[in-house]
Structure 1
Amino acid sequence: MKKKLLTFFFIGTLIFSLSGCSSKQTPSDTTDSTDQQTESETLPEDSKAYEELSLALPVADHEGWSLSGTLTLPDGEDPFPAVILVHGSGPSDRNETIYENKPFKDIADGLAAHGIAVYRYDKRTYVYGKEMASDIDLTLKQETLIDASEAVKLLSDQPQIDASRIYVAGHSLGGQAIPLIQNMLKQYETQAAGYIFLAAPARDLAALMREQFDFLYSLTPVLSDTQKEQKEDVYAQLDQLNHLDELDSSQPILGAYPAYWRDLLTYDPVQTAEAMTEPCLLLQGEEDYQVTMTDFELWKSAFGEKENWTFQSFPGLTHLFMPGKKENANASYLTKQHVDEEVIQSIADFVQTN
């Protein structure tokens, strides 16, 4: 069967590149974005033994803005340990929905069965994409770091949560951002109990995107005229990332302004992570074509001998930690699946033993 080149690139989808960005909540939202109260949601009768509460996350640097979120609480006696989920690149809802797959929802449900609470929230660029589209000075700090750090503070104030056992789990770009989140929490004079890196890039995003495009185009060696034009445009933009100082600051490149790229490309996640003394768990799917085993081995080479770091890779799992094969690229995401139970168990074991 001939493979088709897909036009959706998960790791390469940056701030404003999805047409669904909106300042309005989607019909699936469970609470109004201005509601900062915690209130019970109605669950189906056959649901698992947990409770889901609406808990909005105020946006610290924008008065009046807030992000709808869901706090999943297990059955049992509180206070519970908790995991905060931080999204990958691009606008994303709290479930990190990709087609019919909802990896963050799966992780929340799975960890609740192990007695662990989970907080997930809509990403700022998902809720306020239109308002943010004109901010040419936007960086990863405004896109991700502030909200993730504020989520730790918010959860610390919840009576059902053990404030001394809050863990931060970042997926993809969110995982790469974890050392920066840890630094920001220090500025807040607080800290997480531990950190979980889920398919986290060790290399800069530009290099990763070039590798990803190389791989995807290799799947379709004979291109149509339209695909050839697309390929030329993509690689021309990738080349521009080597000359950011020569570019118009208001001209987006691959979904982000030069200021965003300039900030991100000067960040070395492995070097920054050297100062981390908290327990760290790094998980990687071996069939991930977006963040590959090359990145996993770079992390492991740097920190594999450190007692506070734990590494585990999973044969047969993709970037979403769901079954698939690398050569099928995004086609693996078109089928509704769930995060592998072994991944859930590994996260649960890490939280329960640290």
Structure 2
Amino acid sequence: MREAAVTPPLQVARACAVATAVASHLQAGDTAAVVAMLDSSIRDDGDDGIGELADAWQQVVTPLGSITEIRPPVCGPRNSRGQVVTVVIDCEHGPFQLRVTVDPDGMVTTLHFQPARSFAEQAMWTPPPYADPTTFTERDMMLESAGLAVEASLCIPNSAVTPVPAVVLLAGSGPTGRDSTVGPNKPLKDLAWGLASHGIATLRYDKITYAEPESILSPADFTAADEYIPHALAAINTLRDHPSIDGDRIYLLGHSQGATMAPRVAANADSVVAGLILMAVSAEPLHHAVVRQSRYILSLDPDADADQHPGLAALIKQAELVDSADLNESTPPEDLPFGVPAPYWLDLRTYDPIATVATLNVPVLLLQGGRDYQVTAEENQRFAAALPHHLDVTTHLYPAGDHYLFAGGGPSAPADYYAPQHVDPAVIADTAAWVQRW
């Protein structure tokens, strides 16, 4: 394992001070001050750079509401670009983290907004009632692909009858850990432990964008294929080589964008996967979905005027560019949703998940929450309706379920994800029954 370089204490203190200053300037709306702190390698000179950073900041903060607290900085590892520092920022509807890298001269060399890990660590996750840890063994391991390793967790049932079926879990969009942690909740861990308690092995892992954000996001040609396929294939191969696993009964379970990408992973596997379990999958393109989601979140605030909101207006303009014939590899990232480079969006435009499912000719299980605002039931039904009739397709709609298939009532909102809860037990039972029927 690669050893982290040691940073002198004064450089650590300086880096923490710089990260705190960045957070404070952003909270105050002084994006010009932040741009001035950026290293020349990532800074766009002039007013445009200031406006682009302001737009990106608004896109992150708007769904979460006003800032309530900027927490003390946490110093992480040092990499080739400098000292990594994380600052958790609490908002009305949940936290996120500002992750910056500061070079020895005190200049910011990377700047990312991510889901907050430390918030989740403050609350203790407890196993759901349907998970029995005495029935399986979980061990941590590493998955490596193309020289990049991520942490993973493998659950093997303590079954006298082997080999057993297995499921690879694919997390949703963004830099997401193996448990898909949201507040005190770990929906993918719920799924993994629930299925393992039913005699089904599971393997889940940190996405590369979570494990190595500075390393993987810097190449301008990074795509969704790079984000999902390499380590998913490594996971499939790891299960196929395990003596307790039935190599002919390996399934992919994807959530949200992980569900969208699951057919693409299966199409790139060395041998046919046994089936696809698609949880909150949509026929709607990602850049359309983020606009609709932002508009919905704004609608929850009776005092907000979505049509006049600058953050939403900027996001709509960026999404329109993704659809435009003007999009090319040279399009500046700051003109695109979340500052994600053009090759990522160009790659997604060429990928049709429904057509890919049709080429696989494997059974499909669709799991959808009726209260999900991120992937609506209507979009999920549109996906199901477009699948070829010759496929074996099973659908389950959970009327009380939200995006993570947590059961609740009333219109779903981001803040709901942060109340301690678990994936609906019916989801575990239905998924396990479907896997074990084959």
Report the TM-score when normalising by structure 2: 0.67
- Mapped partners of 1:306, 1:240: distance in 2: 37
- Which structure has the larger Rg? 2
Alignment of 1:294-333 (within 5 A): 294-303=378-387, 305-325=389-409, 327-333=411-417
Contact 1:289–1:326 under 8 Å retained in 2: no
Q: 1:328 to 1:287 in 2, by over 3 A?
A: closer
**TM-superposed deviation, 1:230:** 2.4
Q: Which amino acid aligns with 1:194?
A: G
Query: Which stretch of structure 1 is more off in the superposition, 312-321 or 247-256?
Result: 247-256
* Match in the other structure for 1:38: none
Q: Tell me which of 276, 291, 300 is aligned to 1:195.
A: 276
Which stretches in structure 1 are left out of the alignment for 5+ residues? 10-15, 29-45
The answer to whether 1:258 aligns with 2:342 is yes
Q: Which amino acid aligns with 2:364?
A: C
Q: CA RMSD in A?
A: 2.7
* Match in the other structure for 1:51: 137
* Match in the other structure for 2:64: 6
- Mapped partners of 2:310, 2:361: distance in 1: 48
Aligned with 2:337: secondary structure? coil
Contact 2:121–2:184 under 8 Å retained in 1: no
Contact 1:86–1:171 under 8 Å retained in 2: yes
- Mapped partners of 1:175, 1:353: distance in 2: 21
Q: 1:177 to 1:334 in 2, by over 3 A?
A: same
Q: 1:304 to 1:50 in 2, by over 3 A?
A: same
Give the length in aligned residue pairs: 318
Q: Which amino acid aligns with 1:319?
A: H
Q: 1:304 to 1:288 in 2, by over 3 A?
A: farther
* Match in the other structure for 1:152: 236
**TM-superposed deviation, 1:129:** 0.3
Report the TM-score when normalising by structure 1: 0.82
Q: Which amino acid aligns with 1:6?
A: L
Q: Percent identity?
A: 33
The answer to whether 1:270 aligns with 2:365 is no
- Mapped partners of 2:260, 2:205: distance in 1: 18
Query: Which stretch of structure 1 is more off in the superposition, 252-261 or 128-137?
Result: 252-261
Q: Which amino acid aligns with 2:138?
A: E
The answer to whether 1:19 aligns with 2:114 is yes
Alignment of 1:1-354 (within 5 A): 5-6=63-64, 18-19=113-114, 47-59=133-145, 61=146, 63=147, 65-77=148-160, 78-185=162-269, 188=270, 190-223=271-304, 228-243=309-324, 244-245=326-327, 248-252=330-334, 253-255=336-338, 256-303=340-387, 305-325=389-409, 327-354=411-438
- Mapped partners of 2:387, 2:380: distance in 1: 11
Q: What CA deviation, in whole Å up to 9, does each residue of 1:295-329 have, x standing for no partner?
A: 22112212374451111111100010101346231
Contact 1:283–1:312 under 8 Å retained in 2: yes
Q: Which amino acid aligns with 1:237?
A: Q
Contact 2:156–2:196 under 8 Å retained in 1: yes
Which stretches in structure 2 are left out of the alignment for 5+ residues? 1-61, 66-92, 95-110, 123-131
**TM-superposed deviation, 1:157:** 0.8
Contact 2:373–2:412 under 8 Å retained in 1: no
Which has the bigger relative contact order, CA under 8 A and spacing at least 6?
A: 1
